[in-house]
Amino acid sequence: MSDSRTFSDFTSSAEFEPNGSLRIVTGTEALVNSLRMWIASFRGELIRRPARGGYIVQWLMKPMSEEVGIRIREAIQEGLFEDFEPRITITKVRVIPDYENQFWNIELEGYSSLLKETFSLSEKLRRISQ
């Protein structure tokens, strides 16, 4: 079995298979799913890893600005380097504000040496009003 098949995860939207079991994704799809969950998580929310996640939540509570976008990008880069598994190499991080709709477009591109594949992720995170 190849390494890409050994990395698996349940889908972030908890999709079900026709037989009633939870849908499992593998390879790059599992990696992107894991990244999506990590980015949107609060610290302590990830099961069996209470110290992981939550790197950008504090910035989602701030008024949207160019400075906050820079802080979100830095938090993502720092967090992925410090505690995301499997290890990945990030080649691009973009944090683009949508002021009108009050959300951040987050785009990631990179390479997984475990999977020996490139990946990309595009996610929208809404600003959390105080």
Q: What CATH number should be reported for the domain holding residue 92?
A: 3.10.450.40
CA dist., res. 41 & res. 58, Å (int): 11
CA dist., res. 21 & res. 40, Å (int): 24
Give the pLDDT band (50/70/90) at residue 10: confident
Report the DSSP beta bridge partners of residue 97.
104
Range of the domain at 37: 3-126
pLDDT of residue 16: 84
Assess contact for 39 and 106: CB atoms under 8 A. Answer: yes
Report the DSSP beta bridge partners of residue 67.
none
pLDDT of residue 85: 84
CA dist., res. 76 & res. 54, Å (int): 10
pTM higher than 0.95: no
CA dist., res. 64 & res. 104, Å (int): 9
Give the pLDDT band (50/70/90) at residue 48: low
Number of domains observed in the structure of the chain: 1
Report the DSSP beta bridge partners of residue 104.
97, 125
